[in-house]
Structure 1
């Protein structure tokens, strides 16, 4: 939903929404006038999570207005329609729609990982490929804004300051992930990245000062054990791939921490677009410095000689499109579901990617690597389930 920025002073003229009075049951609804930051001195405020509900829900507040109206039993029809209006497909079959979102998220993610690895087989330049991923996504976002799908949300210097740390961590995590993908098997990189919950728990405990329950720490033990087992016997193991994946875990952990400080009411599509633009600007200089001379000397010419110019350009374009679409669709999908479904979805995604990468590339894995990977994934599933349950308990306890 697009953010609405409203301004006001101490002399506020409230406007109420008048709805057609149906003849069904009576329901009491409180309508609120347009909010402002300070009642005393005026100011600007973004409608949404930043707005304190105490100011508006307190009956003693001068901003509180109560009005009784009649609403139909189902208040889900389009504006201006009668209570007997038809229900849309998404409202009638929400499970099917959500299932389709999950399918497309997994499908795009698997295609991205496969195409990405195939590019590295003949063009091993992860810094440049990372720039391409973000660059194609940014062009897509700019084109979408141009046609108004979605309408671009406004941004100011305050929001920009909040988003820059998020985007820097996103850029670093993305580049190091690609370095790992180019150095080792896709399945091994995703196995190492299964440790991300461990880093998140550590950051919450020791940086944010939020105590982590013992049961949550205990669920992470099989994750660490499984990754260790898989790493010891992974046939494609090398230190570049391993360390890069670990740095990616740390980067994405800090991205999560900064994201909590950068809570705005901007919709997820616009938010991800701005983060992608900033991350692209961050990624370009390292790519030019680290890989620029090699690319100009023989990198591009070697790739074109191996696969041809048309295939090379098409591969770069489509890998960028799949990267942006799967990330955007993942954000939109996870907004539709409860925390527990979110957790299960993330675990299943990693299982899909690991399984399909082994099938497509025919990577040989030892028995110990397979067992270790399974233990690690099971640990992530247990951690995600326990964490989701704890978050649900906190959410239910808040109103009380």
Structure 2
């Protein structure tokens, strides 16, 4: 009796331990699903408000800088109100993040170029096909082999991209190449690697925040050199545009852009490496 009870007592915690991870995984899965839903909604509204701005204001560098400026404002407000702990980084850590910020900046510039040249749906269709490159980076960086189901789903997406390119009415090479060049998913893979490094005491929010601020600081001189000062009341009045309506749509688009990007980084940080790639593809296909 005593031996049986002792054996039962020893088995109890192990059985309990087998149940707890499953129970703990359910809330995490629900949280991840909610984050992906929010991500999709933010991206949809970003496209709704950003496309009209692109149509009447064809200056992708200025629009990109405006987006980063709004993001930097929200980030500064978050830190000032202590809504999230401020990061304390070394120069070595900033040196690691700088290339990611530059890749991020140019990816958004090329995306805005493409959105201004072709239909929104076509831009996101091309960007959905770029997830194969993300898959390659994830395999190389993390040595994780995707399942045949994931490979098959991405293969079907790539085939759809080819068909869409052949039949798209608004197709032009500038829009197509800009969408291809806007592939920032390698950035997501490298971000995942930095977040996985235990020596880099950074969470996904602070990593994205620092990248956004650096991207803004780098985009300002580039914009002034290539496009000059375009987003000013004097210039906008000279074009005959509705200043109030344009600024409102640009502000809503910039707000959705920032929180979409933040949600995307959070999904990358909390989901498995290959899953984050498939999620991004699915999100773009909903456009």
Scaled by the length of structure 1, what TM-score is found?
0.57
- Indicate the larger mover: 97-106 or 278-287: 97-106
More strand per residue: 1
1:313 Cα deviation after fit: 2.2
The equivalent position to 1:287 in structure 2, one of 201, 223, 231, is 223
Query: Residue 241 of structure 2 aligns to a residue in which SS?
Result: helix
Distance 1:125 1:299, change over 3 A: farther
Rate the CA distance shift 1:253–1:324 in 2: closer, same or farther, 3 A. Answer: closer
Q: Which has the higher helix share?
A: 2
CA RMSD of aligned residues (A): 3.6
List alignment gaps of at least 5 residues for structure 2.
1-8, 11-15, 18-23
1:340–1:164 Cα change, 3 Å: closer
Kept after mapping to 1: 8 A contact 2:125/2:285? no
Equivalent-residue separation in structure 2 for 1:201 and 1:261 (angstroms)? 14
Question: What is the total number of aligned residue pairs between the two structures?
Answer: 265
Q: Please say if 1:255 is aligned against 2:187.
A: yes
**Corresponding position of 1:361:** none
- 1:134 Cα offset (Å): 0.7
Per-residue CA deviation, residues 148-195 of structure 1 (Å, 9 max, x unaligned), is 110201111011000001101011111101100111001000111112
Partner of residue 88, structure 2: 154
Q: CA deviation at 1:229?
A: 1.7
* Partners of 1:165 and 1:258 within 8 A in 2: no
User: How far apart are 1:257 and its partner, in Å?
Assistant: 5.5
Does the Cα contact within 8 Å between 1:153 and 1:270 map onto a contact in 2?
yes
1:362-377 map, 5 Å: none
| Cα deviations by residue, 1:322-366 (Å, 9 ceiling, x for unpaired) | 1111111233345444557545532331122x2xxxxxxxxxxxx
Assess if the C-alpha contact under 8 Å between 1:130 and 1:178 holds in 2. Answer: yes
In 2, the alpha carbon distance for the partners of 1:281 and 1:245 equals 24
**Contact 1:167-1:279 at 8 Å conserved across structures:** yes
Residue by residue over 1:25-83, the C-alpha shift from the partner in whole angstroms, topping out at 9 and shown as x without a partner, is 99xxxxxxxxxxxxxxxxxxxxxxxxxxxxxxxxxxxxxxxxxxxxxx89xxxxxxxxx
What's the secondary structure of 1:292's corresponding residue? Answer: coil
Q: Work out whether residues 205 and 262 of structure 2, in 8 Å CA contact, stay in contact via their aligned partners in 1.
A: yes
Q: Does 1:165 align with 2:99?
A: yes
Residue matched to 1:195:
129
Q: 1:299 to 1:321 in 2, by over 3 A?
A: same
Correspondence for 1:316 among 231, 244, 250 = 250
What is the CA distance between 1:246 and its match in structure 2?
Answer: 1.2
**Residue in structure 2 matched with residue 274 of structure 1 by the alignment:** 210
Cα displacement (A) at 1:126: 1.1
Task: Spell out, residue by residue over 1:74-102, the C-alpha distance to the aligned partner (whole angstroms, 9 max, x if none).
Answer: 9xxxxxxxxxxxxxxx9996565444333
Native 8 Å contact 2:188 2:265 kept in 1: no
Q: Is the Cα contact below 8 Å between 1:170 and 1:255 reproduced in 2?
A: yes
Match of 2:201 in 1: 265
What is the CA deviation profile of residues 244-300 of structure 1, one whole-angstrom value per residue up to 9, with x for unaligned ones? 111112xx2542464366442311111111000111122112211221166679852
**Contact 2:192/2:269 (CA < 8 Å) preserved in 1?**
no
Q: Is contact 1:131-1:284 (8 Å) kept? A: yes
Change (3 A) 1:152 1:186: same
Tell me the equivalent position of 1:227.
Answer: 161
Give the TM-score normalised by the residue count of structure 2: 0.78
What is the match of residue 236 of structure 2?
A: 300
Cα 1:349–1:224, aligned 2, differ >3 Å: closer, same or farther? closer
2:126 maps to 1:177: no
